Amino acid sequence: MSVDEPRDPSFAPVERSDHPLKRLSKFTEARIGLGRRGAGLPTAARLDFAEAHAKARDAVHSEFRAEAIARTLADAGFETLAVESRAQDRATYLRRPDLGRRLAEASREKLRAAAGPRFDLVVVVGDGLSATAVNAHGAEVAGGLLSALPKEWTLAPVVVATGARVALSDPIGEALGAKIALMLIGERPGLSAANSLGAYLTFGPKTGRSDADRNCVSNIRPGGLSPQIAGEKLAGLVLRAAELGLSGTRLKDDADDRPALAAPAAALPAGAERES
């Protein structure tokens, strides 16, 4: 083909501002309505994808700043304890998820020594699969949650856990004798967000609990559920779990997160649960 011949139109980028997917893109971070260049994506979309993939990989391997989180919490007036799982390094943690659910024996003894009166709640801040998220939001969400609880509650020291999987909150809560354990942990990074924090609540934590025994609040980040709002939301869920004496599939989140202009939900009789 000579330079004077017209270019094959199938190789032109598709840029239709009136395409329905293009209009929907302002409501979601999902990659839709990107257009195309021949059989592939436009260069800008390919570069954006590559950048997001690199950020996700970096989040998985990022350094967990446990001491900085502990200092931030201490400055806010909260006592902390540092513990570790049986995953001794990051490579082991990624290859052996089971070790991230089990406490190192020295950490178990440290927690047993700190156990005093029956604690109402222990908050655990763990690195998970995105230390990036925990470094950014973990201390803020933990502090907001604890500050929103009744003053008469007996709170365990905040446990800062390295090499943590979600279920590590079970032996931690069990060793401290806590009624409720709430784990704040970095979620598996995706191509839309690498800085998302998850919260997992378990009533009566003990080794052997399953995911059906937990409640999860996810996507805590500036582009999702605001870290400032998340603390109050989690406090409400914790109080509900304490009131009913349960968590997991039987505990419903009755909080209405819609804008204030929405009509308020009808009141329920005492003890009733709303369908979710």
Instruction: Report the chain (276 residues): mean pLDDT per 10 consecutive residues.
Output: 48 52 76 80 86 87 94 96 95 96 96 89 96 95 96 96 97 96 94 90 95 94 92 94 93 58 38 38
CB atoms within 10 A of CB 47: 11
Q: How far apart are CA 252 and CA 255, in angstroms?
A: 9
What's residue 271's pLDDT? Answer: 40
CA 177, chain centre distance (Å)? 24
- The token pair at 261 is 């202009």
What's residue 197's pLDDT? Answer: 95
Q: How far apart are CA 248 and CA 213, in angstroms?
A: 4
Residue pair 255/276 in contact by the 8 Å Cβ criterion: no
CATH number among 3.30.1330.10, 3.40.50.620, 3.40.50.11240, 3.40.930.10, domain 61-250: 3.40.50.11240
Q: Binding residue per annotation — 216?
A: yes
> What is the domain partition of the chain in residue ranges?
61-250
What's residue 233's pLDDT? Answer: 93
Residue 157 CB contacts under 8 Å (≥ 6 apart), including other chains: 78, 79, 80, 81, 114, 122
What's residue 215's pLDDT? Answer: 95
Residue pair 220/199 in contact by the 8 Å Cβ criterion: yes
Note the helical H segments in 123-270. 131-147, 169-176, 227-244
Q: Binding residue per annotation — 232?
A: no
Coil vs helix vs strand at 57: helix
- The pTM (predicted TM-score) of the whole model is 0.80
Q: How far apart are CA 205 and CA 138, in angstroms?
A: 21
Residue pair 144/207 in contact by the 8 Å Cβ criterion: no
CA angle at 188 for the pair 54 and 51, rounded to the nearest 5°? 15
Q: Binding residue per annotation — 160?
A: no
